A and B are shown apart, each in its own frame.
Chain A
């Protein structure tokens, strides 16, 4: 059973940079693990801390938020504000006893298809090493 377990990872990514980067990885046929599911938002500034907490209480093993590089945000500064909130959520996760490594924020531009594949690989590895989200057990 233990070998069978595959992490459930939610990716909330911005339309302009990371989603385009993920598309580019596709066009270039860069292969990466299939353990992530994507919800597209226009900007990482849209990411309400509630989304992440909801994902973890729903049993997500990891959450990846990915946006434009600083200074490259399609909406000027949404990624700064999004990143700030992620710090807040990370400290919140720590406080409730959940590994903050389960939440990751990255910056992948529209031209960084290879980087996107690498990021997903990394996140899948980190989350796999951490094991299943303990909240899933608690919910039962």
Chain B
């Protein structure tokens, strides 16, 4: 104990010295009067009801805190985040002349902003606050180890006090916000978000990788539970997007690179060569009255035939094509993989001169203040679950193929037929949870959330369209959780759909009739099922769209375990991400039906518009600073910085490093390597971190 004490007493002096030299250099912005004062730290311990108090001995921890060096005051309260709790902090600052605050409670990721505000209200710089996490990383993970949790809480407070006693006044940097936004993905989520932003007066770049906007929703026939025609409610929105003055729509485009930070993102967009000029592009090239008007003559003469991906490959398209007649923008596109450059299309296009077979990709740079990712989903490749025979048996289709087959604008004009022989099916089985809620490691462990409802809709559609056709639904649970969904479920039951609770073991094909034999177990009746049907529809799981992974990395957004993009907080910030200024809309964050998707898009648009309307944002001042007298000008840090925020400059006849604060994001990669210890990372300075380590290992009571 005695040994510990001596160490502790010598340590602060050393630290003080380092700090003093550091102070001299990182210029301006500081309130020097306060720096001179001896640290007086106030410690506040939160019970969080019984969340903390249930596993941590609060009284014991408070008594211990009082014994720590630099602690001038300690208190506890039921809920520190409540108004009276916060008032305790503000009052104590004034009453006890505190210079630093420690709140031992939940995670700083949750309540650091709250307590910084309280610290500020007490008249102290908000950055003189440090949090000790004794809930998420204390009481909650050592619930049955009161002694262990209490000891850990004491240590956490000791570590926090060591830092709090050394914290300095910091001032966030305010930067202007570019009055423009970007939305990546133009499905219903991206379109809604872009329209909302545009209507709020914000210039919005809407980026879509496909030649048309509309996304998955434009492939659907009807929408549950109202049975609105999907295209009928979507195409007006598509037209609005195409027309909106504030929306700059870029189709056949991908985000290539993202630089900068909230308020000032510099985004490079790759506009892939479409091979066809829009009327505007033609005019810019001096072709009067030229450009594509969507007449389709080129398609007529094109000799190359390919499957149309919009129709799930069930309808042909040419090498120069549009997905469907209602595309926005109505501009043809060349598929370079199949184009043979015969030039027939160029000839027939004639004076419009819309087609350019030599067109190259173009890189466009735009500056935006905020961005929304709405990258959507793909169908899970259900052939991986080979027991159900997808891609093995012709009459097994996935639900998106079924949508096209039942859709009036689809390849069969809305007449449902069996792919094998074009006959109308009389018995159709729907396999729900195909690849969802699957813990075998092949499928997805999550619930895809909208398959139950669209399968009910599919059952309704075949009952309505094909007299005498019987739908069978094999399900695990029917999850009809939305508004009017349960009622829709009852309606489909009344209409005569048959429901069998049980996951299908396998699907076999009769090689002569191409009928399918389903082997399953009815778990309600406790008996095996052996059922012959004409057609099987797999309600396949959904997964993040192919490009999601690449795009999220460009924007610095994390992903959940299941691949969906990670929100900042699942309940309190479902549209935000950990990258300030980047938001999520729609299914890219997790499976959602259309109402939830649109709601999330409107939420994201609202959130993304806030910094833009405010006009400026505050950046956390965790900037690097150069301690010039220690800097040897080696330049090692300059190369380490991923943001080009550091540079060597001439000062007093020698080279020293200089920081551009607006570019510095505060990662500290430079500070972790500077051989001379010449970089002062604000709020995470080396002496502060060393003090924390010392406090943990050799620190203790006064």
Which positions in A face B, CB cutoff 8 Å?
A: 8, 10, 15-17, 19-20, 22-23, 25-27, 29-35, 37-43, 45-48, 50-51, 54-55, 58-60, 68, 71-72, 74-78, 81-82, 85, 109-112, 117, 140
Contacts and interface: CB of A to CB of B under 8 A. Distances in A.
Given A37-B159, A45-B669, A46-B668, A51 B141 contact: no
Contact of A42 (B133, B156, B622): B622
Contacts of B142: 31-32, 34
Contact of B109 (A20, A58, A77): A20
Contacts of A71: 553
Given A46-B684, A55-B697, 12 more contacts: A26-B137, A26-B138, A27-B136, A45-B667, A47-B672, A48-B672, A74-B558, A75-B669, A81-B669, A85-B673, A111-B558, A111-B559
B499 interface: no
B152 A42 contact: no
Contacts of B690: 50-51, 54
Give chain A's interface secondary structure class: loop
Contacts of B149: 34
Contacts of A50: 677, 686, 690
A77 B642 contact: yes
A23 B697 CA distance: 23
Chain B's interface size range is: 35 or more
Nearest to A55: B693
A110 B552 CA distance: 15
Interface string B393-420: 0000000000000000000000000000
B155 to A, nearest CB: 5
B201 interface: no
A39 B686 CA distance: 12
Contacts of B532: none
A74 B151 contact: no
Given A58-B694, A81-B673, A34 B689 contact: no
Contact of A48 (B148, B556, B578, B671): B671
A70 to B, nearest CB: 11
Contact of B156 (A26, A38, A82): A38
Contacts of B107: 19, 23, 26
Nearest to B640: A81
Contact of A45 (B108, B672, B692): B672
A37 B152 contact: yes
Contacts of B140: 26-27, 29
A67 B76 CA distance: 33
Contact of B556 (A20, A23, A74, A85): A74
A85 B108 contact: no
A9 B622 CA distance: 27
B143 interface: yes
A81 B696 CA distance: 26
14 contacts: A10-B693, A10-B697, A16-B558, A37-B155, A42-B668, A45-B640, A48-B672, A50-B686, A51-B690, A60-B693, A60-B696, A74-B667, A78-B642, A110-B578
A76 B560 CA distance: 18
B669 A78 contact: yes
B141 A42 contact: no
Contacts of A34: 141-142, 145, 148-149, 151-152
Interface in B134-173: 135-138, 140-145, 148-149, 151-152, 155-156, 159
A140 B667 CA distance: 37
B137 A75 contact: no
Contacts of A10: 693, 696-697
Contacts of B159: 37, 39
